[in-house]
């Protein structure tokens, strides 16, 4: 098979190029074309924010490719900043870059809303763990591609994605307060929602990124005790105004978009719908009649006893829920029918009536 350079146009980053001479870029292109990654087209980055911001329909698919592009830029900075005391590790850099591309594969429908439903049911498996399982799966398309690149790469990528705290500068590319994820979604979410505030001087910020060792004190320890040193992304003093913009952008998007009261209410309504579905699905004999769904519908399969398998999880996406609302309206369960109708027709609860909603703003 003849390799050729692939190109994607992105509204945030412009042209994203997968050069034919770059083996890592070609691996990324193959990973993008797996069924597991293509599923991210059917999961919106901002969940239900389109109810408030009609253009906020961008997917985790587009975001993940943007994160990959940004990760490559951060890796180039690491290489530039490397010296004799901190040599550049190409293998570790490759792991971080691929982990950045795959970091969101484990998101369920409506992302954090679905995670909240699962946690309320006592299931504390977050999307990072699902991502690691998808990467490691022997029945999937991801593992063979990674192992063909280098034996053991699968486990290295899965471990980095699932780890919580950065252990080195390469881990910081994927998970830190200045990682490729944040550097993409802050710009992408601002653009797609049309929010005017919160602009980031990205080029200037990246121009002044440095790598330095910082000391981290353990929680509740006396200063200097139980301290550890880890390499991290830092900013040259010239980038202080851009750094302030970066922090203000995060605050502005949380205030105006992520925590918008209407968005939070819709998330709560979807959460209530899914919790009710999960309860009803525990009785497989009556679940189809009560929910209006076919017995083999993925929601009933997943919420059935012992149904939370990887195959069922991968069959879940936003469309599995929104595309079933009409059927749910016809079910015998009054709670499911009412919530489905309200969501389908945007007849939302008022703030004071929204279950679980606390109007602190």
Stated as kind and residue range, the H or E segment containing 145 is helix 142-149
102 domain residue, yes or no: yes
Same domain for 146 and 191? yes
Same domain for 212 and 333? no
- pLDDT above 70: residue 222: no
Same domain for 34 and 95? yes
Residue 178 is predicted with a pLDDT of 93
Same domain for 216 and 128? yes
Distance CA 277, CA 307 (A): 13
Last residue of a domain, one of 189, 211, 243: 243
Q: How buried is 359 (Cβ within 10 angstroms: 0-12 exposed, 13-18 middle, 19+ buried)? A: exposed
Closest-CA residue to 153 (of 242, 28, 274): 28
Under the banding of pLDDT at 50, 70 and 90, the label for residue 360 is: very low
- pLDDT above 60: residue 223: no
Closest-CA residue to 289 (of 331, 334, 327): 331
Residue 355 is predicted with a pLDDT of 55
270 domain residue, yes or no: yes
pLDDT per residue over 3-47, tens digit each?
899 999 999 999 999 999 999 999 999 999 999 999 999 999 999
Same domain for 271 and 223? no
Same domain for 163 and 31? yes
Same domain for 131 and 210? yes
Please count the structural domains in the chain.
Answer: 2
Last residue of a domain, one of 212, 243, 274: 243
Same domain for 310 and 217? no
pLDDT per residue over 286-323, tens digit each?
999 999 999 999 999 999 999 999 999 999 999 999 99
CATH no. for residue 127? 1.10.3210.10
**What pTM did the predictor assign?**
0.92
Residue 357 is predicted with a pLDDT of 47
Residue range(s) defining the domain that contains residue 318 = 261-353
Mean confidence (pLDDT) of the chain = 92
- pLDDT above 80: residue 99: yes
Q: What is the mean pLDDT of residues 316-341?
A: 97
Same domain for 238 and 268? no
Share of the chain above pLDDT 70, in %: 94
Same domain for 320 and 226? no
Last residue of a domain, one of 217, 243, 269: 243
Residue 351 is predicted with a pLDDT of 65
252 domain residue, yes or no: no
236 domain residue, yes or no: yes
Closest-CA residue to 239 (of 199, 198, 207, 211): 207
249 domain residue, yes or no: no
DSSP state for residue 346 in the 8-state scheme: T
180 domain residue, yes or no: yes
Residue 311 is predicted with a pLDDT of 97
271 domain residue, yes or no: yes
- pLDDT above 70: residue 224: no
Under the banding of pLDDT at 50, 70 and 90, the label for residue 217 is: low
Residue 1 is predicted with a pLDDT of 65
DSSP secondary structure string for all residues of 180-201: HHHHHHHHHHHHHHT--S----
Same domain for 222 and 282? no
Same domain for 120 and 198? yes
């Amino acid at each position: 098979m003849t390799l050729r350079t692939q190109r994607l146009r992105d509204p945030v980053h412009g042209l994203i190029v997968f050069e034919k001479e770059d083996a890592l870029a070609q691996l990324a292109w193959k990973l993008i074309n797996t069924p597991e990654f293509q599923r991210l087209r059917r999961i919106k980055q901002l969940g239900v924010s389109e109810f408030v911001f009609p253009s906020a329909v961008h997917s985790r698919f587009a975001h993940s490719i943007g994160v990959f592009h940004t990760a490559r830029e951060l890796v180039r900075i690491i290489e530039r900043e490397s010296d004799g005391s901190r040599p550049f590790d190409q293998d570790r850099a490759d792991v971080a870059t691929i982990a950045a591309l795959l970091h969101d594969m484990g998101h369920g429908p409506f992302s954090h809303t679905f995670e909240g439903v699962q946690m309320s049911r006592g299931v504390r498996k977050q999307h990072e763990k699902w991502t690691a399982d998808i990467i490691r799966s022997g029945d999937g398309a991801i593992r063979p591609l990674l192992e063909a690149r280098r034996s053991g790469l699968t486990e290295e990528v899965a471990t980095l994605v699932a780890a919580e705290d950065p252990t080195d500068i390469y881990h910081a590319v994927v998970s830190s307060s200045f990682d490729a994820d944040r550097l993409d979604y802050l710009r992408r979410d601002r653009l797609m929602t049309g929010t005017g505030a919160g602009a980031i001087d990205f080029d200037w910020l990246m121009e002044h990124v440095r790598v330095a060792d910082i000391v981290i004190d353990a929680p509740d320890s006396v200063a200097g005790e139980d301290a550890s040193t880890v390499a991290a992304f830092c900013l040259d003093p010239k980038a202080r105004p851009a750094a302030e913009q970066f922090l203000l952008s995060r605050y502005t998007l949380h205030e105006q978009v992520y925590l918008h009261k209407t968005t939070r209410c819709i998330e709560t309504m979807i959460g209530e719908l899914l919790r009710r579905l999960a309860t009803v699905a525990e009785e497989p004999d009556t679940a189809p009649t009560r929910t209006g769904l076919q017995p083999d519908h993925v929601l009933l399969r997943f919420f059935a006893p012992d149904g939370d398998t990887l195959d069922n999880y991968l069959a879940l996406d936003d469309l599995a829920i929104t595309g079933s609302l009409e059927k749910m309206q016809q079910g015998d369960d009054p709670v499911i029918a009412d919530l489905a109708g309200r969501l389908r027709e945007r007849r939302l609860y008022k703030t004071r009536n929204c279950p679980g909603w606390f109007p602190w703003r």
